[in-house]
């Protein structure tokens, strides 16, 4: 079996409302590049990559000269074709590799009539628990979804999500307002749901000193972990030395070299594996095995996925013995998806692992066309900018300590 074509399509799918984070905002939508890898036997595998737009499409088209004629079963050879060390000096190809690998595993599963989890050693669980992913957000332009800025609004929003989806773990994206304000909000959130667990993530925008101060103020809360309060292995190590809360990361340990450094001189307790950032599902399985050996915790990270990458997260979560935390996902923030049947449902805070061959999902081509046209109309956006706070930047003290009722 050989690859005969790779077809990338960039789409933009609306969110319920614009989500705010430490670097700016998601402008009411996610931009994703979908790929279809076709073989000479007529099988088509699906992959997905975040952002990029036209640039991502050009990169996938450029890869065709390397990959047409390649057997999708030869995944290690594929890795060296795309991500060999010399090429990696000049090209950031990890996420491209991930999308192609997703599609190849989808093809292999279809060929063998087996779900992807069986290609990875077999599933250990049928359902995967998820955390709510809570954001400060602007109200939607159509008025259907209200803003979330105050503790009262956040608690009401969390209660609605818990009622609708059944979440028992809640993650707050922080770094939008001052640490003192967000501390008060986080404390009130935890007090409102005393039987649930919590985690908070300011996207590494706090100083080491602010991070230590914040951690000490929340040690009484039932925290899963404190995620990326500050930047760098050294900064995280200093925070870890001054708190009893486990630290987690999806920013400073995202490859095997960084994982080795963290094992030799621990700075982070929980590695948040991302099937895109690490270069595929198989790389995450390998990393989880290393973490199991050295008793480093693992969880699964969300990078704004649609249904294709979500399926990879479900298959990954199904096979890892050492995933002890609920998975992160932006997914409930989406208004729609590009897979047949629409959005995958949550039941009691969990999702069922797909059992059909391959990834177990199919493209809704009408939806792909609809959201590809929407992308052409709206174009891309700057992730590191807040459209309603021009000139704002998280590390500038005057802005970082801004009054939340004015911004």
The DSSP call for residue 133 is E
- pLDDT tens column, 77-92: 988 888 876 655 445 6
Q: Would residue 142 be called left, alpha or beta, if left means φ above 0 and alpha means ψ between -120 and 50 degrees? A: alpha
Q: Would residue 246 be called left, alpha or beta, if left means φ above 0 and alpha means ψ between -120 and 50 degrees? A: beta
pLDDT score of 130: 98
CATH class name, domain 3-115+364-378: alpha beta
173 is catalytic: yes
On whether the CB atoms of residues 162 and 132 are closer than 8 A, the answer is yes
Q: Are strands 169-173 and 197-201 parallel, antiparallel or unpaired?
A: parallel
Domain 118-352 has CATH 3.50.80.10: no
26 is catalytic: no
pLDDT score of 27: 84
- pLDDT, greater one: 406 or 286: 286
pLDDT score of 23: 79
pLDDT score of 25: 78
On whether the CB atoms of residues 32 and 48 are closer than 8 A, the answer is yes
Interval 258-264 mean pLDDT: 97
Domain boundaries, the chain: 3-115+364-378, 118-352
Interval 304-330 mean pLDDT: 97
Which of 207, 245, 210 is closest to 227 using CA atoms? 245
CB count in 10 Å sphere of residue 324: 11
- pLDDT tens column, 343-356: 999 999 999 999 99
CA distance 176 to 399: 9
CA distance 228 to 220: 19
Residue 115 pLDDT more than 50? yes
- pLDDT tens column, 27-73: 899 999 999 999 999 999 999 998 777 788 888 998 888 899 999 99
pLDDT score of 90: 47
- pLDDT tens column, 298-314: 999 999 999 999 999 99
Global pTM reads 0.94
Residue 246 pLDDT more than 80? yes
CA distance 303 to 201: 13
Q: What whole-number percentage of the chain has pLDDT above 90?
A: 83
Interval 187-206 mean pLDDT: 97
Q: What whole-number percentage of the chain has pLDDT above 70?
A: 93
- pLDDT tens column, 355-403: 999 999 999 999 999 999 999 999 887 777 777 776 665 554 444 445 5
Which member of 26, 170, 301, 367 is catalytic? 301
pLDDT score of 398: 45
Give the tokens for residue 273.
């594996």
pLDDT score of 404: 56
Mean pLDDT of the chain: 92
Which member of 21, 26, 70, 173 is catalytic? 173
Give the tokens for residue 382.
């700057």
pLDDT score of 293: 97
Interval 213-238 mean pLDDT: 98
Give the tokens for residue 132.
């709510």
């Amino acid at each position: 079996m050989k690859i005969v074509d790779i077809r990338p399509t960039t789409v933009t799918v609306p969110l319920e409302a614009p989500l705010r984070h430490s670097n700016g905002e998601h402008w009411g939508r996610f931009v994703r590049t979908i790929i279809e890898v076709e073989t000479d036997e007529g099988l088509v595998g699906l992959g997905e990559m975040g952002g990029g737009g036209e640039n991502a499409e050009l990169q996938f088209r450029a890869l065709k000269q390397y990959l047409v004629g390649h057997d999708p079963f030869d995944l290690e050879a594929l890795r060296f074709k795309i991500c060999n060390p010399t090429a990696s000096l000049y090209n950031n190809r990890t996420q491209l590799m991930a999308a192609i690998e997703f599609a190849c595993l989808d093809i292999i599963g279809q060929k063998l009539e087996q779900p992807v989890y069986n290609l990875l050693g077999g599933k250990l669980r049928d359902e995967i628990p998820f955390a709510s992913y809570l954001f400060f957000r602007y109200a939607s332009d159509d008025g259907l979804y209200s803003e979330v800025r105050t503790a009262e609004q956040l608690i009401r929003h969390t209660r609605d999500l818990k009622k609708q989806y059944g979440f028992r773990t809640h993650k707050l994206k922080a770094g939008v307002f001052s640490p003192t304000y967000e501390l008060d909000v986080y404390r009130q959130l935890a007090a409102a749901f005393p039987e649930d667990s919590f985690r908070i993530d300011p996207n590494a925008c706090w100083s080491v000193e602010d991070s230590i101060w914040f951690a000490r103020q929340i040690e009484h809360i039932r925290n899963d972990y404190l995620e990326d309060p500050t930047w760098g292995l050294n900064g995280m190590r200093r925070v870890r030395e001054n708190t009893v809360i486990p630290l987690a990361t999806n920013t400073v340990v995202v490859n095997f070299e960084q994982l080795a450094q963290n094992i030799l001189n621990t700075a982070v307790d929980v590695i948040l594996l991302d099937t895109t950032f690490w270069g595929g599902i198989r790389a995450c399985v390998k990393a989880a095995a290393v973490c199991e050996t050295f008793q480093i915790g693992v969880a699964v990270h969300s990078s704004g996925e649609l249904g294709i990458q979500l399926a990879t997260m479900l298959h990954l979560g199904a096979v890892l013995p050492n995933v002890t935390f609920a998975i992160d996902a932006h997914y409930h923030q989406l208004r729609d998806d590009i897979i047949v049947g629409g959005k995958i449902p949550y039941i009691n805070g969990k999702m069922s692992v797909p059992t059909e061959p391959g990834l177990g999902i199919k493209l809704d081509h009408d939806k792909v066309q609809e959201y590809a046209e929407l992308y052409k109309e709206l174009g891309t956006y700057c992730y590191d900018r807040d459209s309603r706070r021009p000139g704002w930047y998280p590390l500038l003290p005057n802005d970082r300590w801004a009054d939340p009722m004015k911004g």
